[in-house]
Amino acid sequence: MSSDDAELLRAELEAVFTDADFPVEDPMELVPALPDGPATTFEAGDVSVDVMEFGATYGEYQDYPYETATDLVDDLMTGFREEGLFE
């Protein structure tokens, strides 16, 4: 994934999670903000990330509670990079 795709993914995540009711104490509190609930998939370029992967694959990079969407997205993006999603 290119850096442009990474920025597109970040923008998509921020757009969705900005609608969440912060502060967020746990991941289940984010479900109402997801356009397709737990079936939501985020896509940018050739990369697709299913929201269910957030906990299964990238959970260790998240540190709840979150006060803002930006803080949550920063941690998700760190996890994506660390786990090689952008290679």
Report whether pLDDT(86) > 60: yes
62 vs 72: CA distance, rounded Å: 7
Whether the CB-CB separation of 62 and 13 falls below 8 Å is answered with no
Report whether pLDDT(2) > 80: no
Report whether pLDDT(87) > 80: no
* Contacts (Cβ under 8 Å, ≥6 apart) of 35: 16
Annotated domain spans of the chain: 3-82
Whether the CB-CB separation of 47 and 9 falls below 8 Å is answered with yes
Whether the CB-CB separation of 16 and 35 falls below 8 Å is answered with yes
Q: Which CATH architecture has domain 3-82?
A: Orthogonal Bundle (1.10)
Tell me the per-residue pLDDT of 20-79, one tens digit each, with 9 for 90 and over.
999 999 999 999 999 999 999 999 988 899 999 999 999 999 999 999 999 999 999 999
